[in-house]
Structure 1
Amino acid sequence: MRTPVSAVVVNPAKVADLGLLRSTITDTLAAAGWAAPMWLETTVDDPGAGQAGAAVRDGAEVVLVCGGDGTVMSCVTALAGTGVAMAVLPAGTGNLLAANLGLTGDLATGIEVVLQGGRRLIDVGTAGDQSFAVMAGMGFDAHMLDATNDTAKKHLGWLAYLGGAVQHLRGRQMRLQITLDDRPSFHRRARSVIVGNVGRLQGGMRLLHDAQPDDGLLDIAILSPRTLWHWATLGWGLLLRKRSVARMEILTAARIDIRASRTQPRQLDGDLIAPGDRLLITVRPNALLLCVPQPATDPDLAHDAGAAARDAALREPVRA
């Protein structure tokens, strides 16, 4: 009986005991009859895309990703469209993909999810040559990430982002031109534009109530508070899980073109990218095969996901 070929892409900076992690994963897979996985560590110069791409070229059928949101995003970029399943073993502060899809933060349970064989196809968003599975944004959200230091995140978890947010509450609004699909462009003054494949933020706060990771669309939140009172009412509305919140406009599209009048900070899946005055995002439907608890949210996605992903990969070139 052929055993599945697997690989582990790990960010060593996010793991307290790398030896223990390796032995736990290897021993658990071996007990299930799997061969020892390829072991690939990220570097400062390559946070995961190169390692995940190498795993695909070497025949991996499942890539276990252990790191923070930046590591996960890099692996999403490499694995989207390949038909190779990705398993998330969270080790960082945010881990928004895991939180949104009900994936566990417990290592043993995460490995068990891989062994059970539950799979789900989800969409990914693309911006330039990078892909994301959770959210992208321009403006305040990226400012907040930039102002949050790693030491605070290590000790406070997601609460550390509140400190970064407070520093930028009084910032200037952006003058934007936004084009959704082939609809006419429109203008807005906003503090932040967030494009989401899923809807949950840090701390369990839900920003995009109707966002689904497999509907072929991305949801767009345009936030336009001007005063501290506006921020307070907006935040309170989100805490109360209101579907309609003052100073926030929700739209959907498959192609989103955001142009700002001046250079703005930008982020993909909680990882800062180079600042710019434009953020062009498109969706790749059902591009990423993800390991999920069984039964999956949608049984049809769980059972036929592997074949569909491989078919999609044949139709679309894999990007390095």
Structure 2
Amino acid sequence: MTSSAVIVNPSKVLDLDERRREICDLLGEAGWPEPLWLTTTPEDPGCGMAVQAVEAGVDVAFVCGGDGTVMAVASVLAGTDVALALVPSGTGNLLATNLGITRDVRAAVEVAIHGDRRRIDVGIVDGADTSTGHPGTFTVMAGMGFDAEMLDATPDTAKRRFGWLAYVAAGARRLSRKRVLMRIRLDGGRWIRRRARGVLVANVGRLQGGIPLLPDARPDDGWLDVAVLTPRDLTDWIMLGWGVVMRRGGTRQLETFRARKVEVHTGQDQARELDGDVVAPARMLVARIAPAALTLCVPRTPAPLEPPESPAAPEAARVTRPRGA
């Protein structure tokens, strides 16, 4: 008999009692016992609750919350046999979006009951400020520069009211900021120097609104996909956005790379984020991949997953793909 826990972020769920009844009824219909019910707090976004779930010996941990809650729980479940099940309840829900898991509670729970189990990669950020309770991991993406500035400038009230469009408004007010010199190193290779507005290190490829920034990114391929944003002015931003949305193969304002370890250094502190949570600004962002670290409940697929690429030497592993080149 499958045992489970439900870790819920109360700030992301309108009616906690109704959500509890709905999930418990669905699990009961499937013959599952009543789940362990755990609620996050402002001081603990989900790490402590995930530890309780693991210690209780559950098979599946459901997460009702946004990307930040998912990230906190995933940081604990990584490396264990406990499967993570997503019940999207926040604004972004990028991991769920990239894996085809909807916000419908019944459909999300049925993914855990009747779907597949998939091992996915987890990103680890070295030197993250764990004193704030942030686990220093990501399942979706880490960013330095523009995207972190945009997230930091988006009020929670606007996110609740307008959803992902709130990020667009906040980002539009920051398009005119100057580029900064960034040094980027992939898998210990040579340093690449760019004047850029930001760098994204991604485990999946779609942003808010389903925008396919890195369409080749896969969460189970053992690689981090990297996007370097280099627009100089508003015209460049428009060209970049148009190329990405229309899938025109990109533009000269966006370079993409692939690596297992990514180092980004700047000469001054830059805003940073992990899975939509803003962390302390710093002059560097160092991320590495932990392959197949997390078991995730996903919709059943008719065909097996493609196997990851074989490991290669650091220089060969680097894939430099200037879009539009």
Q: TM-score, normalised by structure 2?
A: 0.89
Q: In structure 2, which of residues 7, 11, 21 is the aligned counterpart of residue 23 of structure 1?
A: 21
CA distance in 1, matches of 2:199, 2:8: 31
Structure 2 counterpart of 1:292? 298
Is 1:118–2:125 an aligned residue pair?
A: no
Q: Judging changes above 3 Å, is the alpha-carbon distance between structure 1 residues 231 and 49 closer, same or farther for their aligned structure 2 residues?
A: same
Is 1:200–2:206 an aligned residue pair?
A: yes
Structure 1 counterpart of 2:217? 211
Q: Judging changes above 3 Å, is the alpha-carbon distance between structure 1 residues 296 and 17 closer, same or farther for their aligned structure 2 residues?
A: farther
Structure 1 counterpart of 2:81? 83
CA distance in 2, matches of 1:91, 1:297: 29
CA distance in 2, matches of 1:103, 1:144: 25
Partner secondary structure for residue 263 of structure 1: strand
Deviation at 1:30, TM superposition (A): 1.4
Q: In structure 2, which of residues 233, 237, 245 is the aligned counterpart of residue 239 of structure 1?
A: 245
CA distance in 2, matches of 1:97, 1:71: 11
Does structure 2 conserve the Cα–Cα contact (< 8 Å) formed by 1:209 and 1:243? no
Is 1:152–2:162 an aligned residue pair?
A: no
Deviation at 1:246, TM superposition (A): 2.1
Does structure 2 conserve the Cα–Cα contact (< 8 Å) formed by 1:118 and 1:296? no
Unaligned runs of 5+ in 2: 127-134, 308-325
Q: Which amino acid aligns with 1:240?
A: M
Structure 1 counterpart of 2:146? 140
More relative contact order in 1 or in 2 (CA 8 Å, sep 6+)?
Answer: 1
Q: In structure 1, which of residues 65, 68, 71 is the aligned counterpart of residue 69 of structure 2?
A: 71
Does structure 2 conserve the Cα–Cα contact (< 8 Å) formed by 1:120 and 1:296? no
Give the number of aligned pairs.
299
Does structure 1 conserve the Cα–Cα contact (< 8 Å) formed by 2:68 and 2:277? yes
Does structure 1 conserve the Cα–Cα contact (< 8 Å) formed by 2:240 and 2:250? no
Q: Judging changes above 3 Å, is the alpha-carbon distance between structure 1 residues 48 and 108 closer, same or farther for their aligned structure 2 residues?
A: same
Unaligned runs of 5+ in 1: 302-320
Partner secondary structure for residue 143 of structure 1: helix
Is 1:257–2:255 an aligned residue pair?
A: no
Q: CA RMSD in A?
A: 1.3
CA distance in 1, matches of 2:302, 2:169: 36
CA distance in 2, matches of 1:83, 1:175: 42
Partner secondary structure for residue 86 of structure 1: strand
Is 1:221–2:219 an aligned residue pair?
A: no
Structure 1 counterpart of 2:322? none
* 1:45-64 correspondence to structure 2 within 5 Å: 45-64=43-62
Partner secondary structure for residue 241 of structure 1: coil
Structure 2 counterpart of 1:276? 282
Cα deviation, 1:89-109, whole Å, max 9, x if unaligned, reads: 000110000000111210001
Cα deviation, 1:238-263, whole Å, max 9, x if unaligned, reads: 11112232211000000001111100
Percent sequence identity over aligned pairs: 50
Is 1:172–2:160 an aligned residue pair?
A: no
CA distance in 1, matches of 2:244, 2:44: 36
Q: Judging changes above 3 Å, is the alpha-carbon distance between structure 1 residues 173 and 256 closer, same or farther for their aligned structure 2 residues?
A: same
Structure 2 counterpart of 1:109? 107
CA distance in 2, matches of 1:225, 1:45: 38
Deviation at 1:178, TM superposition (A): 1.1
Q: Judging changes above 3 Å, is the alpha-carbon distance between structure 1 residues 143 and 297 closer, same or farther for their aligned structure 2 residues?
A: farther
Q: TM-score, normalised by structure 1?
A: 0.91
CA distance in 1, matches of 2:259, 2:114: 34
Deviation at 1:220, TM superposition (A): 0.3
Deviation at 1:295, TM superposition (A): 2.6
